[in-house]
Amino acid sequence: FLFNYFSAPIQSVRLHQKVLCCCGATKYFERGFPGRGRLEPVKLQDGTYALPECPEASQFDEIYVVCMRSVCELARPKAVFNFEHPNFERKSNARNASIQFTIDMQSELMGFAGYFTARLYGNCQLSIVPETHTKGLVSWFPALIPLRHLYCLQKGTEVIFHVERKIDMQGVWYEWFCEFQDVDGKVKTTALQNKDGMSYFMRL
């Protein structure tokens, strides 16, 4: 199998508002189930559970799977990572990439969309990349990788998306940030998001 991952900058005030209002993990912590971040719930004296205090955790530092209907792509998707399975050579599955995009319109950047293609065998391939989307494929949706704030960009702005896939003995997580030139001509670097997997962590 060969998996290729792609990303594109997007504009969507609606999705930004949806993430802002997202608090779906609370019910899992209250019942003692592991949440989406690295931290696990702790049992209180009265038998209930609570999420340990962690100022680093944020709903904007999570990756979501969404139907991208209310979205405007600001540049064509570009390749990010690829993986081959089975991994007979036991190469590390940690990855890092810096992808440069040229924004094609005046816009508000809210984050990045994540897509993939999968070559299953021979010429048998599935894709959720918009330009090569497999006809009739509705069982997989793109990933939403949000930024913490909306950023006003001019047409022609160069945006560099930095993303890293990290692993340890407990699991896998992604960290990301981006760089761009703002409307005043100053180079801006956004905050590093999901550091150490505090908000979004996939346990092994």
Average pLDDT over residues 66-76: 93
Is domain 2-22+58-203 annotated with CATH 2.70.160.11?
yes
Whether the pTM exceeds 0.95: the reply is no
Dihedral Cα 79, 84, 90, 91, nearest 10 deg: -20
Residue-wise pLDDT for 123-149, tens only, equals 899 999 999 999 988 888 999 999 999
Going 30 to 34 to 36 to 38, the CA torsion angle's sign is positive
**Total Cβ atoms within 10 A of residue 113:** 24
Per-residue confidence (pLDDT) for residue 204, from 0 to 100? 84
CB 166 within 8 A of CB 160: no
Alpha-carbon distances, residue 16 vs 30, 45, 97, 189 (angstroms): 26, 37, 24, 19
Distance (Å, whole) CA 52 – CA 49: 9
Distance (Å, whole) CA 143 – CA 97: 17
Per-residue confidence (pLDDT) for residue 70, from 0 to 100? 85
Mean pLDDT of the chain: 88
CB 38 within 8 A of CB 198: yes
Distance (Å, whole) CA 195 – CA 17: 23
Paired with 81 in beta bridges are 5
CA end-to-end distance (rounded Å), the chain:
21
Give me the helices (H) in 21-142, please: 26-30
